[in-house]
Chain A
Amino acid sequence: MAALAVIFTVFSSANAFAQEAAAAATAKPVDMGPIHKSALFYVLLFLLLCLFIAIVGKALKVYELTRETQGKPEGINWDTVNAIIFALFLVVGLYGVYWEYSVHGSMISHMQEAASEHGKRIDEMFKLTLIITTIVFILTHIVLFVFAYIYRYSAKRKAYYYPHNNTIEKIWTIVPALVLTLLVLKGFLTWRSIFYKAEDPNNRPLNIEVVSSQFLWDIRYPGADAIVGKRNYKLTTAINGLGIDFNDKNSLDDLLADEIVLPVNKPVRFTLASKDVIHSFYMPHFRVQLNTVPGMQTYFEFTPTVTTEEMRTKLNDPKFNYILLCAKICGANHFNMQKNVRVVSEAEYKEWLSQQAPYLTNDLRKAFNLPVVAEEAAPAATEAPADTTATAAKVELDVKNQLALKK
């Protein structure tokens, strides 16, 4: 066990510091000499610290023993010492919480306003919960540490024998219950308003399908029919990676997109599916998250309310982009499974959509015994990348995705 402790010491102290030495030695055959030396240096430094602590400990012991032999009362009252540290901890801790809320709190400014309709309701819910919990957090901690300080041990005092008080106990059962009822009710209504939506026939949502796989998002927009065609995983081939069923005529005009572009203030309904493992479709700015599960489809409907441009002005950050991340562990590249998201005006959206290439290529037409349309497919194929590159000049990440897709 002692050996374990030593190994542990080496690990935790040495590795952290070894980086300085390592930074210099990036060449392939690493010279371990200086690294071992620096590791040894930090181990020795730690042992020195231990020695220092041991000396302080011994000094305290000698001091107390001399007091004892002289018949004086204990020199250091550790109950008081600890009580004072608790009081200090309270003061410093409260300031620390204030600092966290203000400094780290301001670092999440781009999250502070939801960019979707339902997101605003979630934010309201969040604020209410935050206010209630912060009050409880501060008050209970003040009580806890102030009690620890005030009621520290004293030989002169006797504790107050107070085994129970039914009235008080009832109060602090009922009050939290009432507060939680409030939170549950509001939360329940918010939850229902997000997932149970009555469809408005005049404002049908835009259907988009997102299929996840390690470690990509494939996005499919419907064509003129506004319906994304069926998929059948058994039809997956090298040229039909998503297994789109082109026998379903709704599939014929589906469009391939390499980013998610959404018209502002129009409801959009995402159909989510996964090819291999569970991923999570997470767009934090819109307060949207739902897992993509192989073998079933999941749906999330919401309405984006702020365009990318508006958000950039609002945040005074010309580089701001909405983003789609994967939030469910899915393998080695989980940390880099992303897609760019843009919210644009209806006109821009229409224009963008008209430039997207259809999924159905001539190769696929042959595979599904569909008539090959030579003159239509060819220009579309050459046109699309050129145009995308043009828009990509505006949005850096676009290029990245395009390249990733080509790979």
Chain B
Amino acid sequence: MSTISLHDTHHDDHGHGHHHETFLTKYVFSQDHKMIAKQFLITGIIMAVIAMILSILFRLQLAWPDKTFPLLETFLGKWAEGGRIKPDFFLALVTIHGTIMVFFVLTAGLSGTFSNLLIPLQLGARDMASPFMNMLSYWFFLVACIIMMASFFTQTGPASGGWTIYPPLSAVPKAMPGSQIGMTLWLISMVIFVASSLMGSLNYVATILNMRTKGMDLWKMPLTIWAIFLTAVLGILSFPVLVAGVVLLIFDRSFGTSFYLSDLVFGTEILPNEGGSPILWQHLFWFLGHPEVYIVIMPALGISSEIISVNSRKPIFGYHAMVYSLIGITVLSFIVWGHHMFVTGMNPLLGGVFMITTLIIAVPSAVKTFNYLATLWRGNIRFTPAMLFAIGLVSFFISGGLTGIFLGNASLDINLHDTYFVVAHFHLVMGSAAIFGMLAGVYHWFPKMFGRMMNPKLAYLHFWLTFICAYLVFFPLHFLGLDGVPRRYYAFTEFEFMNKWLTVNVFVTWAAIVAGLAQIAFLFNFFYSIFRGKKATQNPWGANTLEWTTPVERLHGNWPGEIPTVYRWPYDYSKPGAAEDFIPQTVPFSETMSSNLPHDFEGNEEAERIQKEWEAANKPVQE
């Protein structure tokens, strides 16, 4: 049992009354994990809204490539001269949309929010292992966001070589306008972002390993914590590789080195770089890049596991299998990066190897899906807003995961690589699914964060519009890819065979606009409910985990008295013999004699003997 209660003592004398909190220390430079979680969440939401607006801008261009929108010029100035988005700016929009969504929303916004909120609350800790570092993690993140957005205000525009910024396109400033100051800002922003992410991840791991309350052994942790823990481990091991890659790229761009550059001729100008390889960047980038997509999806899977179990009023099916499959995904995700590089000129032998590892990773993913379905089976499903989004996640995870089987197959990837099929695939499996995980988490833990409830009816509207529109947007895109339409094309007008997709593009853009407008229902609901929502009760969902034993009024240190002790796993829902359909983790087995099952005692003979005696004594009563 690796529980430590050191932190109990020093926190009790602190936080109530005699510790003056100013506005600045409470809301701005806060070191309280709950406030930092909210800061991450709200920053993440703002970035998500920005990224969504960018996506609607480039969708407008794709749907109506010949039309002018004079209003665009009002907002975008020279980027949309005459009311039409320029090709360079189109690429910038695509690039920054991807960067924001992957890093700022789905890594920081999702992991940052729920790791900070849930680790101490679900494990029974007063705060994170290092609150100060936690605060720094947020501020580094915010600075990274601001630097990234600042690139929109430069003369030559933001980075525009795609979110994967492959050199030489990104390395040679004359290759495109976006590779000038915009790319420099992108790289600086990313270094700061990685620092933020690492400070966060180290903190998460340290807290999870050292600061669990009494009784909370690893196999009693909720699946959210397991997912967050493994995500943090992934981040710690893979993000530094990105920094290495980025630093080398900065050297190539600014100091004349040739790590990624060789044999370059622009027009007739011969560049002096010799001996580097652009492929090296791709290896370094995807060594982070692939774990990164699991960094994005695993917390969402953890959140949905918890929510599906709570709202089906059933234990999650195959808790151990769920954990082992998360571990499997974590380990395998480090040896699959080459599947992004099947056709980049990498040795074909490696292609074969990476295909094998890639398709193996589908096995743990399949296990997770089947376990979700088994959890729903014979449940008593309450469709809370969070539950709707969790079910939506399962659907997206299936749809997007299955198309991954095409792309993971090197021979099929030859024709699908860099087409709209890829766009459709990852927008379903890591875009929509992860966003739905995040939204599910927001709806579920909103009462914990703000002490109030969100309006469920507005949430239903939000869910159904978003769920349907997301499918309307991304399902048709698969067919564009199968037809051989490459991604990141400014317009489909130059190729005869693409003309037939123009009407589909109009349809997809309309669906995207409706989905975008539907988010207003969420934004309104979110900000309105912070101030005016219905007051929450202590345990509004009837959940077992520890966070619902804290008072509704959030306080520094989380629990007013002693931290509760944990006696059981978090998924005792609808246990036969129990009076209620949930038994919180803090209820000892001695209080639930009528519902205890033999495997609850994990081989503790003394406990089993007591249980047997009790059963013998009470048998007649039960009948």
Contact = CB atoms under 8 A, between A and B. Distances in A.
A192 B318 CA distance: 39
Interface in B339-372: 343-345, 348, 351-352, 355-356, 359-360, 362-363, 366-367, 369-371
A147 B370 CA distance: 13
A183 B168 CA distance: 35
Interface string A99-129: 0100011011011000000000110011001
A86 to B, nearest CB: 7
Tell me whether chain A's interface is mostly helix, strand or loop, or mixed: helix
B28 interface: no
Contacts of B460: 78, 81-82
B319 A163 contact: yes
A391 interface: no
A152 interface: yes
Given A57-B457, A169-B367, A276-B264, A183 B405 contact: yes
B516 A12 contact: yes
Nearest to B479: A104
B378 A184 contact: no
Interface string B505-523: 0000110010011001101
B265 A22 contact: no
B257 interface: no
Given A57-B458, A79-B381, A4 B345 contact: no
A160 B378 contact: yes
Contact of A22 (B83, B370, B521): B83
Contact of B314 (A154, A161, A319): A161
Interface string B393-419: 011001100110110011110110111
Interface in B268-287: 268, 270, 276-279
Interface in A122-161: 122, 125-126, 129-130, 132-133, 136-137, 140-141, 143-144, 147-148, 151-154, 157-161
Contacts of B565: none
Contact of B175 (A153, A195, A276, A327): A276
B573 A159 contact: yes
B268 A236 contact: yes
A86 B391 contact: yes
B218 interface: no
A335 B494 contact: yes
A14 B490 CA distance: 22
A83 B383 contact: yes
Interface centre among A82, A151, A163 (most CB of B within 10 A): A163
A356 B108 CA distance: 58
B345 A293 contact: yes
- Among A190, A213, A277, the one with the most B-chain Cβ atoms within 10 Å of its Cβ is A277
B88 interface: yes
A188 B342 CA distance: 12
Given A107-B483, A276-B168, A160 B70 contact: no
Main secondary structure of the interface of B (DSSP, over half): helix
B411 A187 contact: yes
Contacts of B412: 122, 125-126, 129, 187
Interface in B40-86: 42, 46, 49, 52-53, 56-57, 60, 64, 67-75, 83, 86
A283 B355 CA distance: 22
A332 B69 contact: no
- Residue of A21, A26, A195 with most partner-chain B CB within 10 A: A195
Contacts of B491: 335
Contact of B69 (A18, A177, A272): A18
A25 B513 contact: no
B359 to A, nearest CB: 5
Contacts of A129: 405-406, 409, 412
Interface string A319-345: 101010111111111111010000000
B581 to A, nearest CB: 6
B169 A330 contact: yes
B173 interface: no
B60 A295 contact: no
A160 B53 contact: no
A214 B391 CA distance: 46
Contacts of B475: 96-97, 100
A36 B418 CA distance: 39
Contact of B71 (A14, A168, A173): A14
B524 interface: yes
B317 A163 contact: yes
A244 B45 CA distance: 54
Interface stretch (B133-141, B197-205, B244-252, B495-503): B495-503
A390 interface: no
Contacts of A157: 380
Interface string A265-280: 0000000100111101
A277 B171 CA distance: 9
B411 A122 contact: yes
Contacts of A12: 53, 56, 513, 516-517
B373 interface: yes
B484 interface: yes
B479 A100 contact: yes
Interface stretch (A251-259, A284-292, A358-366): A284-292
Interface string A37-57: 001000000100010010001
A393 interface: no
A180 B278 contact: no
A327 to B, nearest CB: 4
Contacts of B382: 79, 153
Residue of B53, B316, B318, B524 contacting most chain A CB atoms (<10 Å)? B318
Interface in A1-41: 1-2, 4-5, 8-9, 11-16, 18-19, 21-23, 25-26, 30, 32, 35-36, 39
Interface string B300-332: 000000000000111111111100000000000
B172 to A, nearest CB: 7
Contact of B345 (A89, A163, A169, A290): A290
Contact of B49 (A8, A158, A162, A291): A8
A187 B471 CA distance: 29
Contacts of A187: 355, 359, 409-412
A173 B345 CA distance: 34
5 contacts: A126-B406, A126-B412, A136-B402, A159-B380, A277-B175
Given A32-B70, A287-B414, 9 more contacts: A11-B57, A30-B73, A100-B479, A111-B482, A188-B355, A188-B356, A214-B175, A296-B345, A332-B490
Interface of B: 42, 46, 49, 52-53, 56-57, 60, 64, 67-75, 83, 86-88, 91, 161-162, 166, 168-169, 172, 175-176, 261-266, 268, 270, 276-279, 312-321, 343-345, 348, 351-352, 355-356, 359-360, 362-363, 366-367, 369-371, 373-374, 376-383, 388, 391, 394-395, 398-399, 402-403, 405-406, 409-412, 414-415, 417-419, 455-458, 460-461, 464, 467-468, 471, 475-476, 479, 482-484, 486-492, 494-497, 500-501, 504, 509-510, 513, 516-517, 520-521, 523-524, 527, 571, 573-576, 581
**Nearest 3 A/B pairs, CB to CB:** A284-B484, A295-B262, A195-B348
